[in-house]
Amino acid sequence: MTSASDDPDRPTGADHDPPAGIVHREIVALILLSAVAIAAFFTTRAIARTTHQMRLSDAAVWYSRGQQRARTGDAIQAAAAFRRASAIDRDNADYRLALAASLADAHDDEAATRVLMGLREITPEDAEVNLQLARLAARRGETSLAVRYYHSALYGFWGADAADAPRRVRIELIEYLLARGDRGRALSELLVLLPNLPDDAAAQLQAGQLLLDAGDGRLALEHFRRVLELDPRSPQGRLGAGLAAFELEDYASSQRYLRSAPRQSERGREVLAIVDAIAAGDPLLPRLRQSERRTRLAAALAHVATASDTCLQSSTAPPPAGNREQLAALRTEVQAFEERTTKGRIDEDALASGVNLTFRVEQALMARCGPGSTLDRALVRIARRHDLDRP
Amino acid sequence: MKRPVTSVAQRLRLRENQLFLALTIVVGIVAGLSAVLFSIAIEVTSRVLFGLDPSALRLFAVPGAVSLVTGVLLARVFPDVRGSGIPQTEAAFHLHRGVIPARVPFGKFLTGVLCIGSGHSMGREGPSVQIGAGIASVIGQWLRISPERTRDLVPVGAAAALAAAFNTPVAAVIFALEEIIGDMNAALLGSTVVASVASVVVERSILGNQPLFRVPTYHLEHPAELLAYAALGIVGGVLSLVFTKSLLALRRGFARLPARTKVFQPAIGGLIIGAVLIGVPQVMGVGYEFVDQALNGGLLLHTLVLLCLVKLAATVVSYTSGNAGGIFAPSLYIGAMAGGAVGTIVHRLAPFPTADPGAYALVGMGALFAGIVRAPMTSVFMIFEITQDYQILVPLMVANLLSFTISRRYQRAPIYHALLEQDDVHLPDASGMAIGSGWTAGEVMHDAAPLVAPDLTIRSVWERVATGPEQVYLIGDHERLKGLLPRARLEAALQEGKQDQPIGMLLGAGFVHAHPDHPSHVVLDRLAQSDGALPIVSREHAAAVLGIVTADDIVRYLAERVSLRE
């Protein structure tokens, strides 16, 4: 690096000046200049601080306006106000998060993602930023990315006042996975969640419902039973236990729980009807008289025969279309079975054959004419319960 | 007893080299403080004048009303602080031995704050440079250091102020060398670096170590993306030309208005800007807030295009109407918007992976700066300092090169030089500087004959010059040269019977000239293009004739040199 001060050929006027007193004029001038510079520095710093405060105050006003507009549902205006706030006070992550949320509310996902990515570059471990990114990715249907952001949020930094937040985020992730039909990954997340659950009825109930949706009836039933221990009169606990028992094919327990539930959902009523139909129509239940078994089987065969006739007669079968010939053959088989078993004693093999036949007809009906009635579903479950659901 | 006292006194004396080094640091600090204060003052003024959320009436009224005040200040009190300040600083360095009157930094601060704070679409960097350079010059004059050192302080102060204004110390040093001094190998490199560092340290200790823009890390996503950046360079070059040419043309138009309107010209600009702000308030003032949004991909395509075009027009109006403010920031703003728009289109349509539009906005900034200011090295270093990312440099250089080349191809002089030329100030350029041995125009020229007024008739002029030896006559009035008239053209006009017509009608559109410091090769080249005589004009006032060079003068001068040697 060369500098003018290194150049020996440059004129050096001060060297030729006569000495002026003990201390040279330039030194006095420099000291004076330095004193002025120091004073100017502190003055400027004080002014800068005042201006900074003014700026922060302006940003807070814009943020407050944005919140007001967000509350009235005007996401676009809210985003504009939050944008002003975050432009003035660029260090405030809350403003930028609010901006991203408003942009997302205004369905400007691309802009919201950019704001969040900007924040994530600064604080990659910020849980709230990752959570919002996860929600945006989820909304776009990018499951892998969403799960990655959800996990970043779960293992990110949450403030001391948000101890419950990771559990809520994991539940949100599980619900998202269940909505996407990914029950396996949802169950894995549930297994991580369960040890950290508080032992209160609400948390146990939520876990039970999620387990039920994820297809783990046994664990779900355990949690619903815990709910009923903590709150024996919980209608949701009874409903959940009834549904879980139903999934486990414990129809007696299911019936007991569901009948004791005072307020029932549509699903609860539907399941109770199936359970009732199973209890009333299963010919293979123990401790039934022979005549009762015959009557139940005959009723089941009569139902599938009628249903087959109706299905075969419908000119436009709804999708999925099944094999008409197969259903017709089964209908003939039902008729032959009825004729064969009308007279005389029915042994256990004949009962099993009859139950299996109803199952096969139900399968064919399902394939050709779609889901059937409560009784149809009960007949399928009866066959399955006795391991007679072979084709 | 006396000896020890003298010895202490001698030791306390500073050699000028040491003094200059100490001054460099002090100038760096003071210029940095001035840039910080200038920036704060603009912000506070804008906040006071417009409030937090201005009404349409306020947006319209403020620029015009404030410009009425600044119009008086700029026309009557501080006539040398109009516009950017960078051309004036260059003129001070090259032509006035670095002498800048004390009223200039003060006036620039005051009028710059009022003009930019009242919403004019102008930048703060140019004024900061003039203020910094002015303070440095005033300090140098006050300390009575040698004229050469006073001159050297000008780019030092300019670099320090720019470093603080833009928070890019390296780019500020390069800018001082590339633009102010015009020589990348200048011996002042060390001094400008010291001052820039001192300035940035001061600026960061007051405002914090915050970059001017927060830019995500961008990468070249695919080699084919370079084509997209090349397209951006072409767009940047075209926009640079549109900006430069429209600015120069409109400024020329304002300059042709009667002198008495000069007071009101800024207010005319203010009224136009007020009307623009009602519809597009985003172009108000410096506008870095929106540049930041473009760099982070936060603006939609139609917004980017709109802001690019409106900012361009608004800056041209604000600048040419005579307000005080720079074009440094507007060129970055326009570039960011243009780049963002190109990037958005490329991002949507390109069949290969591309970076976010923000990356293009960043490169666009550099491309427009390179095209308008024509300081390509500054542009590259500035963007590098903003991003701290090497990855963007290759696309940036591609776009810069194209923009710079297109701009240079269709606009001869860089904008700051062209602005000075409009004011009849001609700066020396690298190719025209006197170098080594040989002679200069000033050495060979002879005194010029008095100017012939252009409204005299051809007959009356002929009667005066017919018997003289001159083969070329200088036409002009009020000490302003209008053109050259060869004797042969005068005789031809007489033969065609145009005796009673004014002689001014015989003048062509322009004339070749040289300056006293031009070396022999430039003089010979221009003499060959002339009508036998080359007027030598002042760099400070290009219409003021200092002398004439003819082939005879050169022969006579060389003969004298030969005889002297013998």
Q: How far is B379 from chain A (nearest CA, A)?
A: 22
* pLDDT above 70: residue B271: yes
pLDDT band at A1 (very low <50, low <70, confident <90, very high): very low
**How does the average pLDDT of chain A come out, rounded?**
85
Residue found under tokens 């170098």: B435
pLDDT of the residue at A5: 41
Residue found under tokens 């306020």: B58
Query: Which has more pLDDT, B192 or B186?
Result: B192
**ipTM of the prediction:** 0.78
**B90-129: per-residue pLDDT in tens?**
999 988 888 999 999 999 999 999 999 999 999 999 999 9
Disruptive mutation site among B40, B109, B204 for chain A (greatest number of A CBs within 10 Å): B40
Query: What's the mean pLDDT in A350-359?
Result: 89
* pLDDT above 60: residue A163: yes
Q: How far is A57 from chain B (nearest CA, A)?
A: 10
Cα A318 to Cα A311, A321, A322, A371: the distances in Å are 10, 6, 9, 10
Q: Does A22 touch chain B (CB under 8 A)?
A: yes
Query: What's the mean pLDDT in B190-204?
Result: 93
Instruction: List the single range of A174-178, A236-240, A386-390, B331-335 with lowest mean pLDDT.
Output: A386-390
Contact residues, chain A, for B40 at CB < 8 Å: 44, 47-48, 51
Task: Pick A24's closest partner by Cβ from B13, B188, B216.
Answer: B13
The H or E element containing residue B494 is helix B487-495
Helices (H), B121-224: 125-142, 147-166, 169-175, 189-207
B536 phi and psi, to 5 degrees? -105, 120
pLDDT of the residue at B401: 94
Chains A, B: CB contacts under 8 A, how many? 145
pLDDT of the residue at B81: 92
Per-residue b/e over A112-145, b at no fewer than 16 CB within 10 Å? bbbbbbbbbeeeeebbbbbbbbbbbbbeeeeeee
Q: For residue B418, what are its two tokens?
A: 């062209």
Q: How far is B148 from chain A (nearest CA, A)?
A: 8
Contact residues, chain A, for B132 at CB < 8 Å: none
* pLDDT above 90: residue B510: no
pLDDT band at A244 (very low <50, low <70, confident <90, very high): very high
Query: What's the mean pLDDT in B250-270?
Result: 93
**B454-507: per-residue pLDDT in tens?**
888 888 888 877 777 777 888 888 778 888 888 888 888 888 888 888 888 888
How far is it, in rounded angstroms, from Cα A372 to Cα B4? 119
pLDDT band at A22 (very low <50, low <70, confident <90, very high): very low
Task: Pick A14's closest partner by Cβ from B15, B193, B214.
Answer: B15
- In chain A, the percentage of residues whose pLDDT exceeds 70 is 91
Residue B189 and residue A1: Cβ atoms within 8 Å?
yes
pLDDT of the residue at B196: 95
User: Which A residues in the span 96-155 are in contact with B, Cβ-Cβ below 8 Å?
Assistant: 111, 114-115, 117-118, 121
* pLDDT above 90: residue B314: yes
* pLDDT above 50: residue A236: yes
Task: Pick A44's closest partner by Cβ from B36, B142, B289.
Answer: B36
pLDDT of the residue at B167: 86
Query: Residue type for B547, please?
Result: G
Q: Which residues pair with B324 in a beta bridge?
A: B83
How far is it, in rounded angstroms, from Cα B286 to Cα B125? 10
* pLDDT above 80: residue A56: yes
Query: Which has more pLDDT, B387 or B83?
Result: B83
Instruction: List the single range of A160-164, A177-181, B290-294, B385-389 with lowest mean pLDDT.
Output: A160-164
**B35-46: per-residue pLDDT in tens?**
999 999 999 999
Query: Which has more pLDDT, B143 or B232?
Result: B232
Query: What's the mean pLDDT in A257-269?
Result: 83
Contact residues, chain A, for B207 at CB < 8 Å: 48
* pLDDT above 90: residue B555: no
Query: What's the mean pLDDT in A274-278?
Result: 91
Task: Pick A87's closest partner by Cβ from B19, B191, B292.
Answer: B292
Query: What's the mean pLDDT in B422-445?
Result: 73
How far is it, in rounded angstroms, from Cα A365 to Cα A361? 6
Residue A23 and residue B12: Cβ atoms within 8 Å?
yes
pLDDT of the residue at B13: 54
Angle between helix B147-166 and B125-142 (nearest 10): 150
pLDDT of the residue at B269: 95
Query: Which has more pLDDT, B345 or A1?
Result: B345
Contact residues, chain B, for A111 at CB < 8 Å: 297-298
pLDDT of the residue at A149: 94
Among A140-144, B28-32, B426-430, top mean pLDDT goes to B28-32
pLDDT of the residue at B540: 79
Disruptive mutation site among A2, A3, A129 for chain B (greatest number of B CBs within 10 Å): A3
Query: Which has more pLDDT, B373 or B390?
Result: B373
Disruptive mutation site among B8, B11, B26 for chain A (greatest number of A CBs within 10 Å): B26
* pLDDT above 50: residue A8: no
- In chain B, the percentage of residues whose pLDDT exceeds 90 is 51
Q: For residue A373, what are its two tokens?
A: 């009635």
Chain B residue closest to A22 (CA)? B9
**B46-69: per-residue pLDDT in tens?**
999 999 989 999 999 999 999 999
Angle at B26 between CA B20 and CA B27, to 5 degrees: 80
* pLDDT above 60: residue B322: yes
DSSP conformation class of B472: E
